[in-house]
Amino acid sequence: MRILQNAGVEGEELARQVGPRLRELRRRRGTTLADLAELTGFSISTLSRLESGKRRPTLEFLVPLARAYRVPLDDLVGAPETGDPRVHLRPRNHRGRTIVPLTRYPGPLQAYKQILPGRDPDQPLPEPVVHDGYEWLYVLSGELRLILGDHDVVLRPGEVAEFDTHVPHWFASASPRPTEILNLFGPQGERAHITAVTGRRQSPVGTDDVDLD
């Protein structure tokens, strides 16, 4: 709800927006300033200054006015529409992977869904990569092979890995079948661990922590 009680440009702008709205509402109701003054207890001059935008519309005034008109406060202040909150997904392909961004806002933390193509386990491994940030991986389906430093592990559905990307790393599907994962990427990272929902103990990834649900 856009009710500003602080002095300054924003308060003045709100007064200019709310004033005409109050005047139009009163005229549509066929109410005079004298009638409204009797209903709210405010003086006619105060009501006139509110409608002309010469007085800031704080809660002290807006609550009694909303009660007198029997309307929500939002009707008086003109709260903006929130818009459609759904993210319209636009998949893209990168080196055989299908990458689906899960947020539409730019920022340090980004979320993705990835579909990794199946891979022959005997296929030669590429060189692990290193970069700033951290990654968080959650396996939705299939099997994910993750190499992180000296660790080589396979994650299955429901398992999670979190790791500092300054450590050399690489991941891909662990079998000829595609693997689906959720992927969060941020600018900083300190540690890594695997959480196994099945209770199977896995090798710790990058730290000595092993969390079991």
Domain boundary among 31, 51, 77: 77
Q: What angle do CA 180, 94, 167 make, to 5 degrees?
A: 75
For the segment 93-98, the average pLDDT, to the nearest whole number, is 88
User: Is residue 114 over pLDDT 80?
Assistant: yes
> Is residue 111 helix, strand or coil?
strand
Q: Do the Cβ atoms of 112 and 182 come closer than 8 Å?
A: yes
CA distances from 67 to 58, 63, 71, 172 (A): 14, 6, 7, 61
Would you give the end-to-end CA distance of the chain in angstroms? 41
Most confident by average pLDDT, 12-16, 34-38, 72-76, 193-197: 34-38
Segments in the chain forming alpha helices (H):
9-29, 33-40, 44-52, 59-69, 73-77
Task: Note whether 139 and 201 are same-domain residues.
Answer: yes
Question: Looking at the structure, do residues 96 and 73 belong to the same domain, yes or no?
Answer: no
**Residue ending a domain, choose from 43, 77, 111:** 77
pLDDT level of residue 132 (50, 70, 90 thresholds): confident
Question: In the numeric block, which tokens belong to residue 87?
Answer: 């993210």
The whole-chain average pLDDT of the chain stands at: 78
Q: Are residues 196 and 153 in the same domain?
A: yes
List the domain range (segments joined by +) for residue 124: 92-212
Identify whether residues 186 and 113 lie together within a single domain.
yes
Residue 158 scores a pLDDT above 50: yes
- 191, 160 Cβ separation under 8 angstroms: no
Under the banding of pLDDT at 50, 70 and 90, the label for residue 72 is: confident
pLDDT in the model for residue 14: 65
pLDDT-above-70 percentage for the chain: 73
| Predicted structure pTM score | 0.50
pLDDT band at 171 (very low <50, low <70, confident <90, very high): very high
Does 54 score more than 70 pLDDT?
yes
